[in-house]
Amino acid sequence: MRNLIIAVLGIASTLPALQAFALPSCDPAVAVNLRKADGEERAARRTSASYAQTLIYDFDTHSGEWFFEVRYVIGEDGRVTCISPGSPYAPSPPEITPQRQAALDAISAQQFAPFLTKGEPAPVYVETVFYEEERPGPHVPRPAGDIATAEIRLHWSSRGEPPSFDMVVRGDGTVTYSPGRYGDLFGPQTYRIPLERVAAIMNLAEAAQFWSLREVYHYDMPGHGWSYSKIDIRLGESFKTFSDDGSGGTPSEAGRLIHTMSALAEAGLWQKIDRRTLDVVKENGFDFASDKGAELLMTLVSAPATSEDVVAHLLSLGAPQDRVIKGFPFDYSLLDAAIAGQRFELANRLIDQGALTTKGQPDRAAVTRALAHAVQSGSPDMVRRLLSLGPELVIRRNDATQKIDPIITFVRRPPNGRQADTIAIIQLLLDSGADIDSRDTFNSGVLNYAANRGDADTLSWLLNKGARIEASDGTSPLDQIYDEDIVMILLEGGADLAQPGVVDELVSKARRDHWLRVTAWLRAYGKWPDS
């Protein structure tokens, strides 16, 4: 047996000592008919001590997957009644290390207040994941060397936030950042940070035992690849590299280094543009009066999070207000950007000043483009004003397709928007002659997009208005929905289950995600495989 030890990080209490709770494995045929309880509900009903979700191994004592999935059932009395390690879709059960056995014991010992289904105590099904990591290797001290000779290279790539970047931090405090968000506008930028920051970055590396880490942390895990970080440190004659894609058991403190180091090196200047950012690029010679300056203005004005102070500062630096820049799926003028950024006072002022006219006459193309932005802004008042100016109800996409799409298919509820406003915008478009069943380049209509976003109220309203669920070729939105509430609205709204593969896909999702209402509905209508 490999020499493993048990340790945990983070949550309220440690895992109990090894104590094999003799619980049976869960019967999939029983579990599939139970409601799934999420983490928030479990936390609210837990009456026993919580346990850590991270399992730690000594260096080089664990291989294979660096996560541990567990499925279990909590009975009507709030006690765990069965437990099964591993994913039901894995080809073989996982190895049970002492750390994993301790996790199973901790789960088995949990107690909860009874879970309620329809007001009555009922068993529930649970899935949880333990994350695993290893300690750094044998201690390697920080190399000797004058910090003035240091060169620290940081690389981060991600499909999400923060945006991808490369940074070089030198011992004299010089930093070069290139390019994440807005990188195509600014290009690489060089600036300085205090020497104390450089020293602090090196101290972070030392505290995380950077020189004792593996060079590469990676496990070939299907579906992984959301992020990747790499840190290179040269100090004097020494060089050390470390890379991590989040799948290979990286020690927690080391995994955070890319973010803590880049924060000290002022990566935030480029992740959220503010006055300091503008001052840095001004010092570096950025031409605010250029087309790039106009693009920067439109980009920042169209982002609701940009402060009015930053917009005013950018205008004071000479950013042009009269350009139209290329955008997706359609172009932007300053008015369009103001509408997209929910700066309606500015938008109305620009309209009053003639932003939608050419030589004193209404510019129908500009009005149509403004309307296409407005239907995504959450403002019925702005949509109403633009509709009064006689726009087209279709617009050509500014992408490779160059297709003409109905503007109603661009309706979206913004993150801070009200459901009632989204419905009001759709009604305004219908009153102006839009077709509730019109489809865009991707064969999707306003109903599809409401369903995909989980907008239950809008979806129900559209169905009550008579919107068709399927496209004219029979394509069903059910294939793309992973929310039981939305699936139920579509089923009860008359979704066509005769199309090939639709029922099979629903059954698969219902089994995997414990959609009890969908299961019951399919059984009631004779669509379940054993009915």
CATH of the domain at 509: 1.25.40.20
Last-in-domain residue among 206, 241, 272: 272
Q: Which residues are within 8 A (CB) of 483 and not within 5 positions of it... i.e. 6 or more apart?
A: 454
User: For 179-193, what is the mean pLDDT?
Assistant: 81
What's the chain's average pLDDT?
91
- Which of 111, 134, 157 is the last residue in one of the domains? 134
Looking at per-residue confidence, does 246 or 293 come out higher? 293
- Per the CB < 8 A criterion, the answer to whether 452 and 458 are in contact is no
pLDDT at 222 over 60: no
Q: 215 and 336 in one domain?
A: no
Same domain, 203 and 243: yes
Same domain as 407, residue 298? yes
Instruction: Tally the domains of the chain.
Output: 4
Q: Which two tokens stand for residue 496?
A: 């066509």
Q: Is residue 257 part of a domain?
A: yes
Same domain, 325 and 354: yes
Answer yes or no: are the C-beta atoms of 351 and 363 closer than 8 Å: no
**Half-sphere CA count of 524, side-chain side, radius 13 A:** 8
- Using DSSP's 3-state secondary structure scheme, residue 6 falls into coil
- Any domain includes 15: no
Region 94-108: mean pLDDT is 95
Mean pLDDT of 65-73: 94
Given a contact cutoff of 8 angstroms between Cβ atoms, the answer to whether 451 and 416 are in contact is: no
CA distance 216 to 229: 10
pLDDT at 179 over 90: no
pLDDT (mean) for 69-87? 96
Least confident of 183-187, 320-324, 468-472: 183-187
- Using an 8 Å Cβ cutoff, are 243 and 230 in contact? yes
C-alpha 505 chain-centroid distance = 25
461, two tokens: 């309203």
Query: Region 298-318: what's the mean pLDDT?
Result: 95
Q: How far apart are CA 374 and CA 388, in angstroms?
A: 13
Mean pLDDT, residues 120-147: 96
Q: Per-residue confidence at 22, pLDDT binned at 50, 70, 90?
A: confident
Say how far apart CA 244 and CA 219 lie, in whole Å: 10
pLDDT at 116 over 90: yes
Beta-strand ranges (E) seen in 24-144 are 35-36, 54-57, 67-74, 80-85, 116-117, 120-121, 124-134
Asked whether residue 344 carries a pLDDT value surpassing 50, the answer given is yes
Q: Cα–Cα distance between 429 and 342 in angstroms, integer? A: 19
Which candidate, 18, 24, 23, places its Cα nearest to that of 98?
Answer: 18
Task: From 272, 307, 338, give the residue that closes a domain.
Answer: 272
Q: Give the 3-state secondary structure of residue 459.
A: helix
Q: Is residue 157 part of a domain?
A: yes
**pLDDT at 130 exceeding the cut of 50:** yes
Residue 16 placed within a domain: no
Q: Average of pLDDT values for 322-329? A: 90
Residues 164, 78 share a domain: no
> If we measure between CA atoms, which residue out of 20, 98, 94, 14 comes closest to residue 54?
14
pTM above 0.75, yes or no: yes
**Chain segment 365-415, per-residue pLDDT in tens:** 999 999 999 999 999 999 999 999 999 999 998 877 788 999 999 999 999
DSSP 396-445: E-SSSS--EEEGGGG----TT--HHHHHHHHHHHHHTT--TT---TTS--
> Is residue 22, in this structure, part of any structural domain at all?
no
Calculate the CA 426 to chain-centre distance. 27
Cite the DSSP H helix spans in 284-418. 291-301, 308-316, 334-340, 344-352, 364-374, 380-387
pLDDT band for position 161 (50/70/90)?
confident
Residue 205 contacts by C-beta under 8 Å, 6 or more apart in sequence?
Answer: 142, 211, 231, 233, 257, 261
Q: Is pLDDT above 90 for 126?
A: yes
What is d(CA 229, CA 226) in angstroms, rounded to the nearest whole number? 11
- Radius of gyration, alpha carbons of the chain: 28
389 plus 428 within the same structural domain = yes
**Hey, what are 433's tokens?**
């002659």
* Same domain? 323 vs 419: yes
67 located within any domain = yes
The whole domain housing 48 covers 28-134
Indicate whether 260 and 391 sit together in one domain.
Answer: no
Write out pLDDT tens, residues 451-494: 999 999 999 999 999 999 999 888 899 988 999 999 999 999 99
Quote the pLDDT of residue 9: 30
Residue 166 is part of a domain; what is its CATH number? 3.30.1560.10
C-alpha distance across the termini of the chain, in Å: 49
Contact between 375 and 359 (Cβ < 8 Å): no
Q: What is the pLDDT of residue 114?
A: 97
Report residue 227 as tokens.
């992020």
Cα–Cα distance measured from residue 211 to residue 471, given in angstroms and rounded to the nearest whole number: 59
Pairing of strands 165-170, 151-158: antiparallel
- One domain for residues 431 and 448: no
Q: Residue 189 is encoded by which pair of tokens?
A: 């930028």
117 and 55 together in one domain: yes
**pLDDT band of 4, cuts 50, 70, 90:** very low
Looking at the structure, tell me whether residues 430 and 294 fall in a common domain: yes
Q: Are residues 322 and 429 in the same domain?
A: yes
Do the domain assignments include residue 454? yes
Q: Which two tokens stand for residue 88?
A: 């039901």
**Helix %, strand %, coil % for the chain, to 5?**
35, 20, 45
Q: Is residue 487 part of a domain?
A: yes
Q: Which two tokens stand for residue 276?
A: 């300091």
